[in-house]
Structures are given as C-alpha cells and as structure tokens.
Chains A and B, each alone.
Chain A
C-alpha cells in the first residue's frame, strides 16, 4: 500500500512510470527491512520503561541509515539522470521525515503489543502458579498423608502399645504434630530453614521408629543460615524420596545426609542416599522430586533448581532456593 501510494505521489511530481516504480521499490524495501529489524529486535529485547528514550535514538539512527542507503542505491541506478538526482535531493527531507514517522509509529505499536503480550503471559504464569501451588499443596498434603506411611506408622504404634506404651504415646504425639503441620502450613507459603527442619525432624523420628536401626539420618548446617527462607513443606518429600530409595534399594543399614548451605544468593540443600547401581537404572528425578521441581518452577520460573547426580553408590539430590 505504501509502495503504491509512493508511486502515485512520484507520478504526481512528474516522474516517469519506470523511475517512480524503481524509486519506490528501493526506498520502500529498505524501509520494510528496517521495520522487520525493529520488530525482531523488540521481540527479543524489550527495553525497560526508563530506557524508552533509547528507542527514539534507534528510530533516528535507523531512519538515517535507511535514507542514506536509499540515496546511495538510487544515485547509482540513476547516475546519468541529473533531473532525478535533483528531485531526490529536494525530496530527501520529506522522505526522511516520512520514514521516521512510520518507524516511530511501528515502534510505538510494537512496544505496546509486546508489553501487552508479556503482561498477559505474566498474568497467565501468575494464575498458573496460584492454581498449581494450590494443587501442589494438596498434592503435598496427600503425600504427607501418604497412606503407606500413615498405616505403617499406625501399625508400629499398635505394636508399641503392647510392649512399650510410653514410646507408643510419644509416637502418637509425633504423628499428630506432623499431620497438624501439614494442615497448618497451607496458609504460610514461606518458612525459615529452622522451622522446616523442626518439622522435618518429626517425620524423621517417625520413620526411625518404623525402620529401627536400618535408618539413620544426619543434618548438617551452619546456625548462621537458619533464618534463610524456603517454601513450606518442600524438604519433606525430598527426604522421603531419599529414604524410600535408600531403604528399598539396599538391604543394609543406610544413612541419609542433609546438608544446607548458603551459596551467593541461594540456599542450597543437598540430600544423599545410598542405592544399588547394579539393579536400579538411574531414573533421573523420581516422582517425589518432580513435584518439587514443578513447585519451584512455578515460584521462580526456573527449571534448574533441582538436580540429581550419582556417584558410585550414592545418589544426591540438590535443591537451590533463590533468596529475595
């Protein structure tokens, strides 16, 4: 449309059809090229609001480049046509201002469009995060109330009632506190490391009663980081995964080690458990870990916060929590 308009305008100024068409093609294709350049640039790099002034600079710069290129090319084509060259020089400012106007409009529209798109994407992500964190919460709840864990714990209590009633009482208390924790923590999204570890200890104590001497655990961290934050109920499924993996993949006594440390602006948690490399193909992330990974993705839009590695017969899960 621009090209057609361009041609008619030139005709009106008294240029021949051929000249008008060539001029239009060169001028307008360069203009379109610049437009594409700008759209692509803005798609991948949208400047922050306070840097919008850069866009004006860009606009001016691109206009100058486009006009200069047009000039060079057209002057080469019509080298002998002094009348045309005179016309071109006279129309230079008109062309420049038109190009600038067009590019300016385009930038404005693109910025608005991409901003809107990003915003709706963010909105969508926020909505998904909200929905899925709720889901995750429910999933966690279900996990904590994992039937296998719950019924086996009750079975252990049942056995203790006959032989060691004091311990039975203690375990009932631990199980209740643990279950209450899963219900209470729904509202609070973030807890300190210390709180999470206290809660985790309830779970570990119950598991130790269940599995007796086969299971031992070690938690290592520096007091200085006990106030670092993490999403509530995040650690327990990771530990549960490690305990299950360790206990059911070997027949020996196992030790699960949890280490917490600060690295730059991250809280880094690593959990190790033994496994048998002969019989279990490393499965990457297990089912329990998938939910942790998903939850962290929803909170931070990052997929690199959960990783696993195997070294000889030791499986390590590493969780990184960015601190705000």
Chain B
C-alpha cells in the first residue's frame, strides 16, 4: 500500500530535491507540493497525507504556525537550513529533522525512522508538545494565527482586546469580533507578554492597552471597561493583579 506525502517549502529548488529523493521510494506518492503554509493547510485537508515534509521559514505563516491550524496533524519531517530555536525544540522532543542541504542517504534514514514509528498517536502527541514549546519563543508570541472557516487570520497581539475561555477553545476578541483558537487559557497566559496581558479572571485575559477604566460590579467584584465599550469581568484575585500592574 502506498503512502501519501505532501511537500511544503517556499523555495522551488528545495522542493525539487525532495521530490527527487522521494522518487527512490516506489511506495511513496507525492500528492501535492506547496509553496507556503496557506497552500499547505488546504492540501492537508484535501489529501489527508500520511507524511508531510515541512520547511519552517515560509511566507506569512511559518511551518509551526501552519501545523497549529491543523486538527490532527499527520507525521512531520521538518527540513530547515538554520533555525537555532527550532533545532533546540526538535532535540528536546526527539523529533527528526533534516538540515539543508541533506543527501539521499540522510533522507532515507528519516523515512526509515518514520516507518518504524508504530505508535502514531505518540507521534501526534510529540508534535503537539513541540508546538506548545515553540509557541513560547519569539516570534510566535507576537501574533496569533487562526483558521476562520477557509480563511487564515493573522492577528498581531496588540490588536487583541481580550480573550475568553469557551470549553476547549479560547475566544480571541478583536475589533472584527471574535475568533476561536483551540488552545487553553493557561497556554495564552504563558505565551503572552505579562506586562501587556493580565488574567483578570479565571475565564478572561485582558489587554492592558485597551482598558479605559475599572468599575465596581456587584459585591466585591469589578469590571474592566475597554475602549471598545466591552466589559471584561475582574475577579477578586484578578483585581489586585490589575491594580498592581496598572500602578493604581
């Protein structure tokens, strides 16, 4: 039985060399070659590949951001020329990666390793952990990449008004309304700059730049009123945090 492979790289020659190497494997079929993450997301949805060969530095959204947008990412072999922080992350999670330029032999080794990985769900979990780890390093924490239907939205963090927990998702509120991101509140609390974003409530993280005032609300509680007019709940533990950081 043959396996489907998708190649995602923004440099044409980098794609062609991978195609060349893959041709040595009769059971591997290249379903699609993509030149950026947008095409990658589409192609992965369409072909449901068994393996993707993924470059990291790409236009608009990088390889990691692209993976974040895919619900059940397939097995990945990363191919990169030089990304210090990425390589550190790979090593921390024992994920195989190819350093460009790589030869046929090295590529075969990576394919062999992928085939030998029996437990597919373990690999998926590893990828998820890798993404969480990478998210903590720049430039990932400067923006939030979200899939909105078939569109991909890149939101610079300074444009975020506030975040609200919603079951397994987080609602990211901006001037265009809210977008859903499948991450947890504690993930965002870790990733976002604490001098810019404060968890004012168990279910809310607020952008300090947006706050115009803080009003009392019912007994012991407060609300932060934003420039947009939106009101964000402030809990009893959140209030002193906000006060301290705003210097009230």
Given A162-B20, A248-B60: A155 and B82 interface contact (C-beta under 8 Å):
no
Question: Are B11 and A279 neighbours in the complex by a CB distance under 8 Å?
Answer: no
Question: Are B60 and A151 neighbours in the complex by a CB distance under 8 Å?
Answer: no
Among the listed stretches A48-56, A98-106, A205-213, which one makes contact with chain B, having 4 or more residues with CB under 8 Å of it? Answer: A205-213
Cα–Cα distance between A276 and B38 once the two chains are bound (Å) = 15
- Residues of B contacting A278 with CB < 8 Å? 154
Return the CB mask of A144-173 against B: 1 if under 8 Å, else 0.
000110011011111110110000000000
Question: Are A147 and B59 neighbours in the complex by a CB distance under 8 Å?
Answer: no
Question: Are B17 and A159 neighbours in the complex by a CB distance under 8 Å?
Answer: yes
- Residues of B contacting A152 with CB < 8 Å? 11, 14, 81, 100
Shortest CB distance B158–A (Å):
7
Question: Are B12 and A151 neighbours in the complex by a CB distance under 8 Å?
Answer: no
Question: Are A210 and B11 neighbours in the complex by a CB distance under 8 Å?
Answer: yes
- Within B148-183, the residues touching A (CB, 8 Å) are 154, 156, 158
Cα–Cα distance between A249 and B10 once the two chains are bound (Å) = 12
- Residues of A contacting B13 with CB < 8 Å? 155-156, 159-160, 209-210, 212
- Residues of B contacting A160 with CB < 8 Å? 13
Q: Is B4 an interface residue (CB 8 A)?
A: no
Question: Are A248 and B58 neighbours in the complex by a CB distance under 8 Å?
Answer: yes
Cα–Cα distance between A210 and B10 once the two chains are bound (Å) = 9
Question: Are B82 and A147 neighbours in the complex by a CB distance under 8 Å?
Answer: yes
Cα–Cα distance between A248 and B36 once the two chains are bound (Å) = 10
Closest to A158 in B: B101
Question: Are A148 and B81 neighbours in the complex by a CB distance under 8 Å?
Answer: yes
Question: Are A151 and B101 neighbours in the complex by a CB distance under 8 Å?
Answer: yes
Cα–Cα distance between A154 and B17 once the two chains are bound (Å) = 12
- Residues of B contacting A212 with CB < 8 Å? 11-13
Cα–Cα distance between A54 and B235 once the two chains are bound (Å) = 73
Which chain B residues have a beta carbon within 8 Å of chain A's beta carbons?
Answer: 10-14, 16-17, 20, 35-36, 38, 57-60, 81-83, 99-101, 103, 143, 154, 156, 158
Question: Are B156 and A248 neighbours in the complex by a CB distance under 8 Å?
Answer: no
Closest to A161 in B: B17
Given A151-B81, A151-B100, A151-B101: A251 and B14 interface contact (C-beta under 8 Å):
no
Q: Is A194 an interface residue (CB 8 A)?
A: no
Closest to A171 in B: B13
Cα–Cα distance between A163 and B20 once the two chains are bound (Å) = 9
Q: Give the bracket for the number of chain A residues in contact with chain B.
A: 20 to 34
Given A148-B83, A157-B101, 7 more pairs with CB closer than 8 A:
A151-B81, A151-B99, A155-B101, A159-B20, A212-B12, A214-B35, A280-B156
Return the CB mask of A251-263 against B: 1 if under 8 Å, else 0.
1000000000000
- Within A223-261, the residues touching B (CB, 8 Å) are 247-251
Cα–Cα distance between A211 and B60 once the two chains are bound (Å) = 15
Shortest CB distance A189–B (Å):
30
Question: Are B82 and A148 neighbours in the complex by a CB distance under 8 Å?
Answer: yes
Question: Are B60 and A250 neighbours in the complex by a CB distance under 8 Å?
Answer: yes
Cα–Cα distance between A148 and B156 once the two chains are bound (Å) = 25
- Residues of A contacting B20 with CB < 8 Å? 159, 162-163
Shortest CB distance A17–B (Å):
59
A-B contact pairs, 8 of them (CB 8 A): A154-B101, A155-B81, A155-B101, A158-B101, A211-B10, A212-B12, A279-B60, A279-B156
- Residues of B contacting A148 with CB < 8 Å? 57, 81-83
- Residues of B contacting A155 with CB < 8 Å? 11, 13-14, 17, 81, 100-101
Closest to B36 in A: A251
Given A155-B14, A160-B13: A248 and B59 interface contact (C-beta under 8 Å):
yes
Q: Is A79 an interface residue (CB 8 A)?
A: no
Question: Are A147 and B11 neighbours in the complex by a CB distance under 8 Å?
Answer: no
Which one, A156, A249, A250, A281, contacts B14 given CB within 8 A?
Answer: A156
Cα–Cα distance between A7 and B208 once the two chains are bound (Å) = 67
Enumerate the 4 nearest inter-chain pairs by beta-carbon distance, A residue then B residue, closest first. Answer: A151-B81, A159-B17, A155-B100, A159-B13
Interface centre among B12, B35, B103, B143 (most CB of A within 10 A): B12
Closest to A210 in B: B11
